[in-house]
Chains A and B, each alone.
Chain A
Amino acid sequence: MAAVSQLQRQFIEYTSSLYNEGYLDDQFTQLQKLQDESNPDFVVEVVSLFFEDSEKLLNNLATALQQKIVDYKQVDSHVHQFKGSSSSIGAQRVTNVCVHFRNCCEEKNLDGCLRCLQQVKHEYILVRNKLEALFRLEQQILQAGGSIPMME
Chain B
Amino acid sequence: MGLIAISETPLHVLAVDDSNLDRKLIERLLKTFSYHVTAVDSGSKALEFLGLKDVEKMEKISPFSPNPEVEVNMVITDYCMPGMTGFELLKKIKESKSLKDIPVVIMSSDNIPARINRCLEEGAEEFFLKPVRLSDVGKLKPYLSKNERKTTEEEECVSSDNSRATYNDDHNDDDDDEVEASTDEDEQIQMLRKTIEEQCVLNDNSRAMHNDDHKDDDDEVEAWSDEDEQSQRFSKDQSC
Contact assessment for B217 and A99 in the assembled complex, using a CB-CB cutoff below 8 Å: yes
Assembly CA distance A45 to B23 (angstroms):
12
Q: What residues of A have a CB within 8 angstroms of the CB of B19 in the complex?
A: 53, 81, 84-85, 88
> From A38, which residue of chain B is reached at the shortest CB distance?
B31
- Interface residue A129 (Cβ < 8 Å from any Cβ of B): no
Residue-wise, chain B 209-240 has the 8 Å CB interface mask toward A (1 for contact) of 00001001110000000000010011100011
Counting chain A residues whose Cβ lies within 8 A of the other chain, the interface size class is 20 to 34
Q: What residues of B have a CB within 8 angstroms of the CB of A31 in the complex?
A: 25
Q: How many chain B residues touch A (Cβ–Cβ < 8 Å)?
A: 25
Contact assessment for B32 and A87 in the assembled complex, using a CB-CB cutoff below 8 Å: no
User: Out of B216, B217, B240, which one reaches A77, CB within 8 Å?
Assistant: B240
Contact assessment for B21 and A95 in the assembled complex, using a CB-CB cutoff below 8 Å: no
- Contact A45 B24, CB 8 Å, known A30-B134, A85-B19, A87-B130: yes
B210 to nearest A CB, angstroms?
12
- Contact A85 B21, CB 8 Å, known A30-B133, A39-B28, A77-B240: yes
A110 to nearest B CB, angstroms?
16
A98 to nearest B CB, angstroms?
9
Within 8 A of B (CB), among A101-148: 102-103, 106
Contact assessment for A80 and B25 in the assembled complex, using a CB-CB cutoff below 8 Å: no
Contact assessment for A84 and B109 in the assembled complex, using a CB-CB cutoff below 8 Å: yes
Residue-wise, chain A 75-92 has the 8 Å CB interface mask toward B (1 for contact) of 011001101110111101
Q: What residues of B have a CB within 8 angstroms of the CB of A27 in the complex?
A: 131
> From B25, which residue of chain A is reached at the shortest CB distance?
A88
Contact assessment for B235 and A73 in the assembled complex, using a CB-CB cutoff below 8 Å: yes
Assembly CA distance A53 to B197 (angstroms):
38
- Contact A95 B216, CB 8 Å, known A30-B134, A53-B21: yes
- Interface residue A10 (Cβ < 8 Å from any Cβ of B): no
Assembly CA distance A85 to B28 (angstroms):
16
- Contact A80 B240, CB 8 Å, known A87-B131, A99-B217, A102-B218: yes
Contact assessment for A89 and B240 in the assembled complex, using a CB-CB cutoff below 8 Å: no
Q: What residues of A have a CB within 8 angstroms of the CB of B20 in the complex?
A: 49, 53
- Interface residue B29 (Cβ < 8 Å from any Cβ of A): yes
- Contact A96 B216, CB 8 Å, known A34-B32, A73-B235, A88-B25: yes
Contact assessment for A106 and B234 in the assembled complex, using a CB-CB cutoff below 8 Å: yes
A49 to nearest B CB, angstroms?
4
User: Out of B29, B235, B239, which one reaches A34, CB within 8 Å?
Assistant: B29
A51 to nearest B CB, angstroms?
10
Q: What residues of A have a CB within 8 angstroms of the CB of B133 in the complex?
A: 30
Contact assessment for B32 and A46 in the assembled complex, using a CB-CB cutoff below 8 Å: no
Contact assessment for A84 and B130 in the assembled complex, using a CB-CB cutoff below 8 Å: yes
Contact assessment for A33 and B134 in the assembled complex, using a CB-CB cutoff below 8 Å: yes
User: Out of A33, A84, A96, A99, which one reaches B22, CB within 8 Å?
Assistant: A84
Contact assessment for B130 and A88 in the assembled complex, using a CB-CB cutoff below 8 Å: yes
> From A35, which residue of chain B is reached at the shortest CB distance?
B28
Residue-wise, chain A 33-63 has the 8 Å CB interface mask toward B (1 for contact) of 1100001001001100110010000000000
> From A48, which residue of chain B is reached at the shortest CB distance?
B21
Residues of A within 8 A of B (CB): 26-27, 30-31, 33-34, 39, 42, 45-46, 49-50, 53, 73, 76-77, 80-81, 83-85, 87-90, 92, 95-96, 99, 102-103, 106
Please provide the 5 A-B residue pairs with the shortest distance between their CB atoms, ordered closest to farther: A49-B21, A99-B218, A84-B109, A88-B131, A85-B21
Known pairs A26-B213, A99-B216; list 8 more (Cβ under 8 Å): A34-B25, A34-B28, A39-B28, A53-B19, A81-B19, A84-B22, A99-B217, A106-B233
